[in-house]
Every structure is written in structure tokens, then in C-alpha cells.
């Protein structure tokens, strides 16, 4: 997976300048030390997808183009501050012929906020092939976005993610999995055309994969107040894709208990090919008294 250097896409001029270009544009401080700039945000805490995406960018800067990332596993160990830059320290754990491993630590004010392991695999390996099929869902263009029915905090999150076209398919408009305790189906993509670079799209999906996933665990529980936060996040990449073309995020939650929920997501392209799989555990603590589940400025 060829790394893209800082500033590579700053001159991108196809349509409006999407914020993801700035998110993924890291400054190289030293050989294995990188810094992510402050990204204007309505969130008081750094969005988890942003930290994961930047950590993956840092890792790709230390890996040759003969390898591409196939998985990442990360823990959010402390809340980041959205108005402060984040420094990423990369440890070159292993450089093998077939596999390369990297460990990345995201730091603010000398303390870790996120720790990630990423694995890279050579491009030309061969083996058996099979894949899940995509459930029947309406085409994304036919899905109506109704923000007036959403809680205020949820609407504020969609505003935070305004550069993404996010369309949650209403319950009853998709083929249900009768064995799933909680499920949600979401079409999403970048509204702007993104650079023609495979690495960029992979790192972009690391950002996108944290959007809406935890909320899928709360679908059966209505609009009651919950404190929400990502605790850990894992992502596997299966096939090439574009993040500026429609992707279906098929989400299920097998369990919620003790203030935490497990969520799983299969990500398909519009042709029905499985391109990535995500798993996340998140905090879903019932709010007591006043307060908002997501720390958004002004709420």
C-alpha cells in the first residue's frame, strides 16, 4: 500500500474541499512520529473515527507499497480534546515477507488516548474465496432522510458529518435478520469526489466506520437518553472500494449489558460485494438526570 505524503491532496479541486483531506494530512515530525492538525468540530471530544483514521495514515507512512492493510484493532483509552493536535508514535513491530505489523500510539499532552495495532499483507497471495451476500435493501437514492424525527443530539451529529451522505434505511424497509437482537442498515458515502488513491479510501473508511455503528445497538430502545462512546474498534478490509461511492453498512448488535454494547457491521459496495467488516464495543450507559449522550458543544 503506497503511503501518501503530507500535503499530497491539499490541491484537490474536484468540487468543495472535503474536510477528510485535512483529517488525513499528517505532518511528519520524525521518521516514525506524525502529528494530526486540529480539525474544527462541534464535538468537544475528538471523534473516534478521526483518531483511528489518522493512526492508520501514520502506520501506512512506514510500510512499502508491496503491502496493503488488511486489519486494524484499536482501543480508545482516554477522551481526546478536539481543539488540540494529536501526535502519533509508530512502532515497527515486524517486517516480514508476507506480513508487516505496526503499533501506533495516539498522544495528547504526553498521555495516550488511542492505541492501535495494524497488519499489512502482500497483494499477490491466493487462496479459497467466498463471501456473504448483501441483504435486500432499497436503493440509496430512494431513502428519505427525516431529521425531524431524530433527537437533537443525533441531528447535531449529522451536521458534524455534513460532508457525508448518510441515509439510515427505516425499519420495515429492509429484509430483517430474524436472529438479530438489534439491527440497522445505513447507506453512506462522501458527498465530494475523493482522490484516486487506494490508501486514501481505506483510511477514509476507517474514519467512516465509526459513524452510526454504536447507534445500531440502541435501535430497540427508542430515544431514551444514553451516554455513548467508542471503547474499542476493529476493522478488516477485504476488497478495493471507493468511499465516494455508495456503501451499505449492515449493522447488528448481538448483545448489550452492563452499560456496554457489542456492535458488528458488514460493509458492501452497491454491487453487493463485501469490502470490509467492523466490530466495536461501546459505552451505552443509561443517563441519569440531565446530560447528553454525546459531548457536543452548545448542548
Q: Which residue in 54, 82, 209, 230 is the catalytic one? A: 230
Residue 177, C-alpha cell as written in the block = 435478520
- Burial bucket for residue 23 (CB in 10 Å: 0-12, 13-18, 19+): buried
Residue 32 to residue 163: CA distance in whole angstroms: 30
Residue 88 to residue 58: CA distance in whole angstroms: 7
Instruction: Judge whether 149 counts as a catalytic residue.
Output: no
Residues in the chain, overall count: 299
How does DSSP classify residue 49? Answer: H
Q: What are phi and psi of 257, to 5 degrees?
A: -165, 145
Of 47, 59, 152, residue with least CA distance to 100: 59
Q: Which residue in 25, 108, 210, 264 is the catalytic one? A: 210
End-to-end Cα separation, the chain, in angstroms: 41
The alpha helices in 222-295, defined as continuous H runs, are none
Residue 288, C-alpha cell as written in the block = 441519569
Instruction: Judge whether 230 counts as a catalytic residue.
Output: yes
DSSP lists the bridge partners of residue 269 as 247
CB atoms within 10 A of CB 179: 8
Sign of CA dihedral 191, 272, 158, 280: negative
Instruction: Judge whether 253 counts as a catalytic residue.
Output: no
Q: Report, as residue numbers or ranges, the catalytic residues.
A: 210, 230, 280
Amino acid at each position: 500500500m503506497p503511503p501518501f505524503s503530507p500535503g499530497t491532496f491539499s490541491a484537490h479541486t474536484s468540487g468543495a474541499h472535503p474536510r477528510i483531506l485535512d483529517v488525513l494530512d499528517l505532518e511528519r515530525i520524525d521518521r516514525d512520529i506524525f502529528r494530526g492538525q486540529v480539525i474544527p468540530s462541534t464535538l468537544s471530544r475528538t471523534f473516534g473515527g478521526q483518531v483511528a483514521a489518522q493512526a492508520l495514515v501514520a502506520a501506512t507512512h512506514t510500510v512499502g507499497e508491496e503491502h496493503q492493510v488488511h486489519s486494524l484493532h484499536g482501543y480508545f483509552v482516554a477522551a481526546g480534546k478536539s481543539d488540540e493536535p494529536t501526535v502519533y508514535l509508530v512502532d515497527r513491530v515486524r517486517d516480514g515477507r508476507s506480513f508487516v505489523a505496526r503499533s501506533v500510539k495516539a498522544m495528547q499532552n504526553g498521555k495516550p488516548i488511542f492505541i492501535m495495532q495494524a497488519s499489512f499483507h502482500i497483494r499477490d497471495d491466493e487462496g479459497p474465496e467466498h463471501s456473504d451476500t448483501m441483504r435486500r435493501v432499497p436503493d440509496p437514492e430512494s431513502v428519505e432522510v427525516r431529521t425531524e424525527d431524530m433527537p437533537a443530539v443525533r441531528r447535531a451529529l449529522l451536521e458534524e458529518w455534513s460532508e457525508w451522505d448518510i441515509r439510515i434505511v427505516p425499519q420495515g424497509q429492509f429484509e430483517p435478520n430474524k436472529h438479530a437482537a438489534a439491527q440497522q442498515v445505513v447507506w453512506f458515502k462522501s458527498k465530494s469526489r475523493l482522490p484516486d488513491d487506494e490508501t486514501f479510501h481505506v483510511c477514509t473508511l476507517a474514519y467512516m466506520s465509526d459513524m452510526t455503528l454504536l447507534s445500531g445497538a440502541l435501535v430497540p430502545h427508542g430515544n431514551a437518553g444514553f451516554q455513548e462512546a467508542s471503547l474499542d474498534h476493529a476493522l478488516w478490509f477485504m476488497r478495493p472500494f471507493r468511499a465516494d461511492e455508495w456503501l451499505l453498512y449492515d449493522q447488528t448488535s448481538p448483545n448489550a449489558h452492563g452499560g456496554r454494547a457489542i456492535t458488528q457491521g458488514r460493509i458492501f459496495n452497491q454491487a453487493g460485494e463485501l469490502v470490509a467488516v467492523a466490530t466495536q464495543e461501546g459505552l451505552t450507559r443509561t443517563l441519569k438526570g440531565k446530560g447528553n449522550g454525546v459531548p457536543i458543544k452548545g448542548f
